[in-house]
Structures are given as C-alpha cells and as structure tokens.
Amino acid sequence: MLIAAKDKREIAKLKAQLNNEFEMKDLGAAKKILGMEIIRERHVGKSYLSQKGYINKVLCRFNMHEAKPLSTALCPQSDKDVEYMSKVPYSSAVGSLMYAMVYSHPDLSHALSVVSRYMAKPCKEHWKAVQWFFRYLQGTSNACLQFGKI
C-alpha cells in the first residue's frame, strides 16, 4: 500500500491506525509504483514519476533504441515554416475537403479527422497531407454515391 499526504504526522497517524487493524511492515519511502520510478526533490517540494525503464524496454522491443531522437512529438516549426504556413489557406482547404467528404467521398472521413485536429497550428507535414487528399480527389472526381434497390 502506498500512502501519501501533505503532512508527515497524517501519514504516521494512518500507519498507526492500520497497524492496529492489520499486520504490516513499513518499507519506508516508495521508490517505484506500477513500474515507474519515483524521484523526490524534497528541498523544493517536487516529486516526479519516470517511465525511463519502460520506455527503454519498448524502444528495444521495436528495434528503435538506436533511432535518432526528436525534440518534439509532432512537426518542429522554424520561423521560416511558421511564416510559410501563415500564407497557406489550411482551414479553407480542409473545409473544402470536408464538404466533398460529406456529400460524395465518405472514404476521406478518417484522414480528414486527423488533419482537422491541427486547424489552429498546422505544419508543413499537415499541409502536404491535405495536398495529397486533393490529388486523391483529382483521381476520383468521377466517383459518385449510388442509390437504388439492392
């Protein structure tokens, strides 16, 4: 059992109560929980949970332990990229694609749901995906929905 509180006296009181009801052994401050390492900086009042061990295992499992690391989870944006994207009609393009999706191309729904998440701050990779969808429409412009008896 892991016990946490703002005050050490509260912890001591709870431990005493539990000890009266159950046979227990105090193992001291926890160092791990659910495979995560607990790191404390008591002098500044901060605690951290680290999954470094788990992440290293997963990277090895999928043969990515020697991959080149990235500093961002998504697209990094330089000032040049931000300036470029400020001139791109991203929201308008995605909206136009959504119109086609709703009325004649439901096959675009998943792909558009992904790129529409980045309406507020798209990067060049998102714009490339949108351009890909336009190229797809170019090749499927004759496709239409059919209604009738089955």
Q: What is the pLDDT of residues 12-65, one digit of tens each?
A: 899 999 999 999 888 888 888 888 888 888 888 888 888 888 888 888 988 988
108-130 in b/e form (b: 16+ CB < 10 A) is beebbeebbebeeebbbebbebb
CA separation for the pair 18, 14 (Å, rounded): 6
pTM of the model: 0.56
